[in-house]
Amino acid sequence: MKIDLTILAPYVGFLAEGALLTAEVCAVALVGSVILGMLVAIARTSQLAWVRGLAFAYVDLFRNIPFLVQLFFFYYGLPEIGIYIDAFTTGVIALSISGGAYASDAIRAGILAIDNGIIEAAEVSGLPRRVIFTRIVLPIALRTSVRPLGSVLINMILTSSILSTITLNELTGNARIVTSETFRPFEVYVVLLLVYAALTYLVSIAISLLHRWLNRDMQPEVN
């Protein structure tokens, strides 16, 4: 059998639709996981031992259980307790919760890396604790953790392919449909492999640029 990529030409639009859905899911899940990660990172750097323990349990659990199992837990479990939501919402929830575990680690590292002097200076200036956290600690932590958060996003893009198992027709889901129509699995999946690799490569370039831009005032002066 010869490799013939032209066979895919009529399906480019269909695959692009899937890619768009992948992008949508990942964008929403990224926002969800960064918010969740921020809250959990705050909990993990808390002074209360039980809050720290609870946050650690969440991170430990969701990092050590396969995403597929988490996804099925939500997909089959939520209707059981009377919550009927579509595959898209389930996918976003599952991705956010599992991504939140990874994001919290990145943000926590950013918080722990903050110089004590900065916090002490803020305290001496008479800022209340809440303001110190939201206006000083978080912005610095988020800025330094852009790169690790970026790899969380890249992982999320790759993980989102698993959502095709719960009937969400994102990029991989649509590719499966194309395969069953063309009977050309090799061509379809090779192209898909390269598309995902290109997509994540572009995202990683964008993250590097964002990191450079956010930390522009920390760059040494170049004369």
Partner 1 sequence: MRYTEFTPFDLWLLTQGLGVTIGLFLATSLLGVLIGVVWGVIRFYRVPVLTQLITFVSEILKNSPVLVQLFLVFFGFPGLLKMNVTPVTAALITLSANTAAFVYVIAVSAIESIGRDQIEAARVFGLTRWQVLRHVIAPQAAAFSIGPLTALLVNQLQVTSLISVIGVMDLAKIGANLNLRTLKPFIVWTAVGILYYLAAKLVAMLGSALEKRLRAHSAFRGL
> Based on CB atoms, which residue is closest to partner 1, 45 or 161?
161
DSSP annotation of 147 reads H
Count of chain residues binding partner 1 (CB under 8 A): 41
Binding characters for partner 1, 116-155, by CB under 8 A (x = yes): --------------------------------------x-
Count CA atoms within 13 Å of residue 208 on its CB side: 6
**Closest to 211 (Cα-Cα) out of 157, 114, 137, 143:** 143
* Residue 165 within binding range of partner 1, rule CB under 8 A: yes
* Residue 58 within binding range of partner 1, rule CB under 8 A: no
Residue for token digits 């990660």? 37
* Residue 108 within binding range of partner 1, rule CB under 8 A: no
- Span 192-211, contacts to partner 1 by CB under 8 A: 192-194, 196-197, 200-201
Residue 24 to residue 87: CA distance in whole angstroms: 13
Please say whether the beta carbons of 161 and 170 come within 8 A.
yes
> Based on CB atoms, which residue is closest to partner 1, 137 or 199?
199
> Based on CB atoms, which residue is closest to partner 1, 46 or 165?
165
Question: In the bound complex, what is the minimum distance in angstroms from residue 8's beta carbon to partner 1?
Answer: 13
Residue for token digits 């990145």? 106
Q: Is 59 exposed, middle or buried (0-12, 13-18, 19+ CB in 10 A)?
A: buried
Please select the residue that binds partner 1; options are 72, 109, 132, 211, rule is CB under 8 A.
Answer: 72
| Structure tokens that stand for 220 in this block | 């040494």
Question: In the bound complex, what is the minimum distance in angstroms from residue 129's beta carbon to partner 1?
Answer: 35
